[in-house]
Amino acid sequence: MKDSRLTMRDLPAIDRLLEVIITYPELGELPHQIIVDKLRAVVGEARNQLRQKQTVDISVESLVTKARRELLALGTCSLRKVVNATGVVLHTNLGRAPLGKNAVRMVQDIMSGYNTLEYNVATGERGSRYDHVVNKLCALTGAEDALVVNNNAAAVLLVLSGLAQGREVIVSRGQLVEIGGSFRVPDVLKQSGALLVEVGTTNKTHLSDYQEAINENTAVLLKVHTSNYRIVGYAGQPDMKELVTLAHSHGLPVVDDLGSGTLVSVEADGWNEPTVAACLTAGIDVVTFSGDKLLGGGQAGIIAGKKQYITMLKKHPLLRAIRIDKLSLAALEGTLIDYLTGNVYNNIPVQRMLKRRPEELREQACQLEKMLKDLTLYGWHIDVIPLASQAGGGTLPEIDFKSFGVSIIAAGKSAAVLEKELRKNSIPIIARIQTEKILFDVRCLDFDDMEVIKKACFRMVKGAIK
Ligand SMILES: *Cc1c(COP(=O)(O)O)cnc(C)c1O
């Protein structure tokens, strides 16, 4: 019925479509009204297309198929597990840090029943959700006190609102950054009600620049981790300790948005990211960092530092609006326990993946190559190749972690087509394309992931995936 002479009057009646669609048993559990609404929407869309003189198939079969597909999608999860073959450990679009087993167990145990979220079992009275992780965070960072909120963006907003509303915050021009997902330092400052005072230049800011900007209306000297980019060449910022000394000589706090923040040192390619503890030891008064970047937990924003400031923040009315939820809190506590019990590299996936050595990765790539070997019988090319993985998530930019992977050229299929088919797998496989090849970096893959890749590829040669 693909006929441009069709008119509105040829559109099937909703009742007719309904008769057909309810013969599909898998829609049986959906509320009747939802089915009817969907049919109306599909017919409405076809009507619009006809009105615009577009060619449209308005057969009962075609309209029912469309409605059925959309209705079936309602009953399936859109948020799904994927295989991350990109080698990017903290892939923001792929959910950042995967949780460790311990953290997952905590989340499962605690969420399936009632819990002590805001209950103090010792006294039988109301407790605080913030207390659960304070001692653990203080032990791991050397902070006097800590507070956790929804995410790091919220943490920065709270700190600036609490410590600098209506007053000036001095920031180096080299640190007025934008992090993916619309976190922009000048905008967050504006939202907090603090006034931004920019000092220095894009590449260089001197201690004297801060010194000259300090006046009686200054509230905070703010440092921001440049996270997703690096200024190289003729560039520099004052030493952390000098900045702290300057601020303290004026009775001012230094706040450092560490972005990722790491509890253990991460070394790669000659780069050494200072730990949260090192920043606090250098005298930084308040730091903020994410729970789901290098820390490897769930989404959270952690504020740690001097008690006098954290106490002020705990009383701030904004806190209620940005509070952490029980799922993330359980994930965070479970992850912190792994740090405290010396199980960092065994239990925390992000830390384990970043630590993996090239020799081990090469061995795994060889294993994957072996699993895919029979594809060569169908004319595919499979090779083990050296790769460079990234930490991702706006952490450790431009730093390559030496890795290995498998490159694939499929017979009679462009890399773009293969990439798309991998994405359409029942467990989507996310891979990179480079010079007409598909690359599977093995850094973030476990054995099950490799099985998924194997099955998907072999199904393709048997033509099951269209
Ligand atoms: C990632 C990042 C943020 C935002 O953290 P979220 O936990 O995603 O809210 C803020 N500041 C810096 C410097 C970052 O790197």
Question: Per-block average pLDDT, block size 10, for the chain (466 residues)?
Answer: 64 93 86 94 94 90 95 90 96 94 95 95 95 97 98 97 98 90 88 96 94 98 87 85 97 96 82 89 97 96 98 97 97 97 92 95 98 96 94 76 96 94 96 96 97 96 63
Ligand 1 site, residue 151, Cβ cutoff 6 A = yes
Q: Residue 438: what pLDDT?
A: 97
Q: pTM to 2 decimals?
A: 0.91
CB 300 within 8 A of CB 150: yes
Please state whether 387 falls in left (phi above 0), alpha (psi between -120 and 50) or beta: beta
Q: Residue 391: what pLDDT?
A: 85
- How far is the centre of ligand 1, averaged over its atoms, from the C-alpha of 81 (Å)? 24
Question: How far from 223 is each of 151, 160, 210, 396, CA to CA, in Å?
Answer: 18, 12, 11, 17
**Closest ligand 1 atom, residue 185 Cα:** 11
Ligand 1 site, residue 301, Cβ cutoff 6 A = yes
By most ligand atoms within 8 Å of CB, the mutation choice from 227, 230, 273, 299 for ligand 1 is 227
Q: Residue 3: what pLDDT?
A: 52
Ligand 1 site, residue 275, Cβ cutoff 6 A = no
Cα radius of gyration rounded to whole Å, the chain: 27
CB 147 within 8 A of CB 316: no
d(CA 294, CA 98) in angstroms, rounded, equals: 11
Ligand 1 site, residue 223, Cβ cutoff 6 A = no
Q: Residue 441: what pLDDT?
A: 98
